[in-house]
Chains A and B, each alone.
Chain A
């Protein structure tokens, strides 16, 4: 079965507000995590990644937080824009595994 999952399948956000998308994983051996964004009709697009020896990483308008104690990952999007409307996936892998395992995805809709 899946080793990663998202708390909510959908998220509606007012334009300009911050978005928080959550993801839980089950395997304590997972050592690398990635967030992807998938727009309608397109392939998943890399957003940001984080290794298990870190608890926070920042990119442009995005921040990923990793809490290994509770096996929780989150993606924060600052000042959400209409172009942020998409499905967001968390994915994980581990040192003894070559594949990337994806969660089910959260659909983010930005309200004008």
Chain B
């Protein structure tokens, strides 16, 4: 158990709908990362927050948004869902804002999203 908690574990929804994925980082970790994993794209970085502020943005669609709250948990909002959004969404956390030696980035178990 990495200590990163993600909910829900599985979600099935229809195209056009909106979902929210939730992440609780490890105790003491200030940085949260969101990744998308699909069969043909591997692990793609979406966005990163550090202590409530956005620090880095990857290939995140405009239909997607995220935030990190004062209690450090984070939510990833996916709207106007399309079939191609079906994927495994991972949250990860670390103490410091970037990947450096000694600042291990720990991943949660992921949220499986299926869009039908």
Q: Are B45 and A100 in contact (CB under 8 A)?
A: yes
Query: Which single residue of chain B is at the shortest CB-CB distance from A96?
Result: B98
A32's partner among B4, B90, B100 (CB-CB below 8 A) is B100
B107 close to A98 (CB less than 8 A): no
A104 within 8 A of B: yes
The answer to whether B56 and A98 touch across the interface, beta carbons within 8 angstroms, is: yes
Residue in A closest to B9 when the chains form the complex, CB atoms = A41
Interface size on A, residues (CB 8 A): 25
Given known A-B contacts A93-B99, A99-B56, A100-B45, A43 and B105 have beta carbons under 8 A apart: no
Contact of B101 among A36, A43, A51, A97 (CB under 8 A): A51
Instruction: State whether A98 touches B98 (Cβ < 8 A).
Output: yes
Q: Are A99 and B100 in contact (CB under 8 A)?
A: no
> Which residue, A51, A99, A104, has most C-beta atoms of chain B within 10 A?
A99
Interface Cβ pair total, 8 Å cutoff? 66
Closest Cβ–Cβ distance, residue B47 to chain A (whole Å):
9
Closest to B108 in A: A43
* Docked CA distance A89–B42 (Å): 9
Q: Which residue of A lies closest to B99 (CB)?
A: A93
Contact among B42, B92, B108, B109 with A105 in the assembled complex (CB-CB below 8 Å): B42
How far is A51 from B100 in the complex, measured between Cα atoms in Å? Answer: 8
Q: Quick one: closest B residue to A36, CB to CB?
A: B107
Whether the Cβ atoms of A98 and B55 lie closer than 8 Å is yes
Cα–Cα, bound, A57→B52 (Å): 34
Chain B interfacial positions (CB closer than 8 Å to A): 2, 4, 33, 35, 42-45, 48, 55-56, 58, 90, 92, 97-101, 104-110
Given contact pairs A43-B109, A100-B99, enumerate 14 new A-B contacts (beta carbons under 8 Å): A32-B99, A41-B109, A42-B110, A43-B2, A44-B90, A50-B101, A51-B101, A91-B43, A93-B98, A93-B100, A99-B56, A100-B33, A100-B105, A105-B43
Q: What is the interface of chain A, defined by CB distance below 8 A to chain B? A: 2, 32, 34, 36, 41-46, 49-51, 89, 91, 93, 97-105
